Structure 1
Amino acid sequence: MLKSNIAVGLDIGTTKVCVVVAEKDALGKLNVLGKGRSNSDGLQRATVVNINKTVAAIKAAVADAERESSIRINGVNVGISGAHVHCIHSNSEISINQSGIVNDSDVKRFLEKAKTNIRYLDIDHEIIHVIPQEFIVDDQEGLLDPIGMAGTTMRGSAYIVVGQRTKIRNIKQCVEKAGLEINGLTFEPVASGMAVIKEREEKSGVVVIDIGGGTTEVAIYNNGAIRYSEVIKVAGNDVTHDVAHGVKALYEVAEELKIQHGCAYAQLSGEDEELLIEGIEGRPQKSFPKSSLTMIIEARMMEILELVRDSVKRSGYYEYINAGAIITGGGSLLPGTEELARDVLGLDVRIGYPEGVSGGIKGSINNPMYATVMGLVAHSFQYTPPDDYGFASTAEVLPNSAQAVIEEESPVQESGPARKKIVDRMKKFWEQL
């Protein structure tokens, strides 16, 4: 039985691959049916360096998600990131159709023109997203939804996400070699933001900081739209490498030390103690002061956050971030990260957990490391026409399972906040851009 109201997100990270299968409930919330996770070492800094290892990691994570959800996964919304991805602001202006009332066709022409207005886009790069930021109909400014407005001219700006063609192709190859169809590509800072930001934060101005294994992603939102993003090539793996070098231990031992005893803020580290460290290849154990471990971790985490601060100030939006910062991703789990970030960034800070999850195995994904993949699921629902949630081939109920008795559900006609209005109207053409 095909399930047409199910979406699947695939987050191919530097250290892990995550898959989540979810459906939407009657209130527009996500009901998580299953998840899968596997270790990944086929990427460096969010860029594929080993096709076979990446394919194996994807297959393992998908198999876990299928077992847990009793759903056969066919199509996925794939996250993409890396330093090769960059964003361009593009202005656009068109004449409104003869009726003088803005319609879907006008918005589509507006975004198409924003794409053609990009300069210096060579054959080595391709467009991933065209995200509207603001519409101005005649002299009416600050519109997020121009449909139905009367006027003669519509102008405004769009945020265009561009990536290197060969690196995007490598990601696609890995997914296809794993036996999956690609239903869409989503820039991961967009997905992370969609997962963790509350509506009032998005309007007031907020920066989302996703500290992963290979990269740290920064995205700034203000007045209901993304305004700036950057991918920084320093992240959680660098912390682990510093620990391994400092204590002269294997990477795996250093990672365990970081997770079990690590702290990113010396003022919270508590009393000092000696930590026993496993010797390499039969060598004897040795001890290492916990205070020294904290100093190593704090130094690298401070560097990451200073790079984030510089990025935010460079954006020109620092003074407009009234809601502060949200830190998410696996790197946010280190104790003391929130407090250190507050000191370094000079902003109010909270840790970001996936929002908008109503049921299913909700508790198992209530973790910052699942923020991106939950955002990929949410993005798949938000920008896919209701009749094609998951493109109908995204998922299929496996036979002889408890899920097989679930009745087919019709697409949800939800009533949500005013923001839903523009989403419904733009769904029709978003996937064509």
Structure 2
Amino acid sequence: MVSRSVIAAVDIGTHRVRVVVGERRGYALYVRGAAAAPIAGTAKSRPREVLDVLPALRRALEEAEAMAHATPEVLVIGVGGAEAEIAPVRVSARRDPRTAVDDAEVEALVAAAQGEGAGAYVPEVLPRRFLLDGVRLADPRGHAGHELVFEGWQVRVPEEVLEAYRGLLNRLEREAVYRFRPFAVLELLTHAEERREGVVVVDVGGWNTELIAVKDAERLVVESFPFGGAYLTRDVARVLGISLADAEQLKLAHGVAYVQEAADVEVLSLPSEKGEAYLRQTELAQILEARLEEILTLVRSRLEEHALDPLPTYVFTGGTSALPGFTGLVRRLFPGSVRIGYPQYMGVRHPSLSGAVALLHAEALAGLAEEGFRRHDGIREEGWIRRVREWLLERF
């Protein structure tokens, strides 16, 4: 069965490929299948070529589609913060002051903002504010004036990055739409009040940690750091003298991110010159906490550089944030409200799936807008009008 209502969201990380298949029925979105596959060779290094990713993507896609019993017509590919840049954009239009601004004018102006930016692909524009004859308005519709101005942020994807994705999809004989994963995750895991007051979402992935911070409609920061959960595994392997595969298994089975929450019990027997030596969970936690504290301290220092620390709310997601004790560690390092963010859909309630589910959710919203649906208690309208309402109207 091929259906436009069935969506496959693809989150290509630095360590794994995750695919979530969902079906939109009216205003409701149902997750029908999810799968993940490790990228070969990334236990020791990052994936460098399209061919490194292809087998993992093909396997995850086939498994997720088999669970869903459906074949999506178009894939939604997430573009990460390390693959794109955020740039401010400002466009304006002269208009007839005898008439009031309507939906069509607003959509045309924001679409023009997306069209700016020669030499790069612009999959999304994030609204910041409107000005009508120099006056800032949350919603310019219904007002009259000579000049309407839109200010926002563009997501610019270099052509070489886009070509790499195209090469991957050509081998799969699939078409795709592209969405900026940090925006999607921010919208999935936070609400408008938090975004107005100030919030950061930190996604701790395999080889990368990605953050997106926003405050009111004035400040937006997206950054990516080349450190993640794979470094924890590597540290365990090096310190204990075991293989990376054994270190990963040990981390997942007995790892605790915060020494104070670890138990003083034996979790592993290790050979030594004096016979058998025993590793306690507290000793394993010391290895994990040291690296995690380094990563999280870097995150906070970057926020301080952008004058975005402290913030009222800190949301952490990604597979590493699921480690026991992670919340305790970040509460020691970060002020304000701290929580672990994960999707609220049945079957995918895990931080490692936040990226894929966020892409799925964003595309479902876009599909509703194309079909003319409007605001409802379930999935809400998408497109530029929805973004204006959610990101601007609720900020003033």
The TM-score range, normalised by the shorter chain, is: 0.7 to 0.9
C-alpha distance in 1 between matches for 2:171 and 2:243: 32
Q: List runs of 5+ in structure 1 lacking aligned partners.
A: 389-410, 428-433
The aligned runs of 1:95-244 (5 Å cut-off) are 95-97=94-96, 99-111=98-110, 114=113, 123=119, 125-138=120-133, 140-141=135-136, 143=138, 145-182=139-176, 184-223=177-216, 227-244=220-237
The aligned counterpart of 1:380 is: 363
Moved over 6 A (4+): 42-47
The aligned runs of 1:311-322 (5 Å cut-off) are 311-319=302-310, 321-322=311-312
User: Does the CA contact (< 8 Å) of 2:369 and 2:382 recur in 1?
Assistant: no
Q: Deviation at 1:197?
A: 1.6
User: Does the CA contact (< 8 Å) of 1:21 and 1:69 recur in 2?
Assistant: yes
Answering whether residue 93 of structure 2 is matched by residue 94 of structure 1, we say yes
Answering whether residue 351 of structure 2 is matched by residue 368 of structure 1, we say yes
User: 2:295 is paired with a residue of what secondary structure?
Assistant: helix
User: Does the CA contact (< 8 Å) of 2:374 and 2:381 recur in 1?
Assistant: no
The aligned counterpart of 1:9 is: 9
> 1:381 corresponds to which letter in structure 2?
A
Q: Deviation at 1:116?
A: 7.4
C-alpha distance in 1 between matches for 2:48 and 2:233: 20
Q: Deviation at 1:136?
A: 2.5
C-alpha distance 224-290 of structure 1, shift in aligned 2 (>3 A): same
User: Does the CA contact (< 8 Å) of 1:48 and 1:167 recur in 2?
Assistant: no
Equivalent of 2:322 in 333, 344, 348: 333
User: 2:34 is paired with a residue of what secondary structure?
Assistant: strand
36-45 vs 3-12, which moves further: 36-45
C-alpha distance in 2 between matches for 1:289 and 1:223: 46
C-alpha distance in 1 between matches for 2:24 and 2:46: 31
- The Cα RMSD (Å) is 3.1
User: 1:35 is paired with a residue of what secondary structure?
Assistant: strand
The aligned counterpart of 2:393 is: none
User: Does the CA contact (< 8 Å) of 1:215 and 1:234 recur in 2?
Assistant: yes
User: Does the CA contact (< 8 Å) of 1:43 and 1:50 recur in 2?
Assistant: no
202-211 vs 329-338, which moves further: 202-211
Answering whether residue 261 of structure 2 is matched by residue 268 of structure 1, we say yes
Deviations 1:31-62 (CA, angstroms, capped at 9, x unpaired): 11222221223779997513223111111111
Q: Deviation at 1:117?
A: 6.9
C-alpha distance in 2 between matches for 1:67 and 1:225: 44
Q: Deviation at 1:88?
A: 1.6
C-alpha distance 374-261 of structure 1, shift in aligned 2 (>3 A): same
Q: Deviation at 1:172?
A: 2.6
Equivalent of 1:345 in 301, 326, 334: 334
Q: Deviation at 1:379?
A: 1.2
Deviations 1:165-197 (CA, angstroms, capped at 9, x unpaired): 223321232133123211x11122112212222
Q: Deviation at 1:285?
A: 7.3
C-alpha distance in 2 between matches for 1:328 and 1:414: 28
Answering whether residue 31 of structure 2 is matched by residue 32 of structure 1, we say yes
C-alpha distance in 2 between matches for 1:167 and 1:424: 25
TM-score scaled to structure 1, two decimals?
0.79
> 2:223 corresponds to which letter in structure 1?
E
> 1:141 corresponds to which letter in structure 2?
R
379-388 vs 50-59, which moves further: 379-388
C-alpha distance 190-75 of structure 1, shift in aligned 2 (>3 A): same
C-alpha distance 11-84 of structure 1, shift in aligned 2 (>3 A): closer
User: 2:182 is paired with a residue of what secondary structure?
Assistant: helix
User: 2:126 is paired with a residue of what secondary structure?
Assistant: strand
> 1:375 corresponds to which letter in structure 2?
A
Answering whether residue 15 of structure 2 is matched by residue 19 of structure 1, we say no
52-61 vs 126-135, which moves further: 126-135
The aligned counterpart of 1:296 is: 287
C-alpha distance in 2 between matches for 1:372 and 1:45: 23
User: Does the CA contact (< 8 Å) of 2:189 and 2:342 recur in 1?
Assistant: yes
C-alpha distance 126-278 of structure 1, shift in aligned 2 (>3 A): farther
User: 1:383 is paired with a residue of what secondary structure?
Assistant: helix
User: Does the CA contact (< 8 Å) of 1:97 and 1:106 recur in 2?
Assistant: no
User: Does the CA contact (< 8 Å) of 1:48 and 1:171 recur in 2?
Assistant: no
C-alpha distance 74-338 of structure 1, shift in aligned 2 (>3 A): same
Q: Deviation at 1:369?
A: 0.8
Which of 1 and 2 has higher RCO (CA within 8 Å, sep 6+)? 1
User: Does the CA contact (< 8 Å) of 1:46 and 1:81 recur in 2?
Assistant: no
The aligned counterpart of 1:68 is: 67
> 2:158 corresponds to which letter in structure 1?
Q
C-alpha distance in 2 between matches for 1:74 and 1:288: 50
Identity, % of aligned positions: 24
Q: List runs of 5+ in structure 2 lacking aligned partners.
A: 388-396
TM-score scaled to structure 2, two decimals?
0.86
Equivalenced residues, count: 385
C-alpha distance 354-224 of structure 1, shift in aligned 2 (>3 A): farther
C-alpha distance 371-274 of structure 1, shift in aligned 2 (>3 A): closer
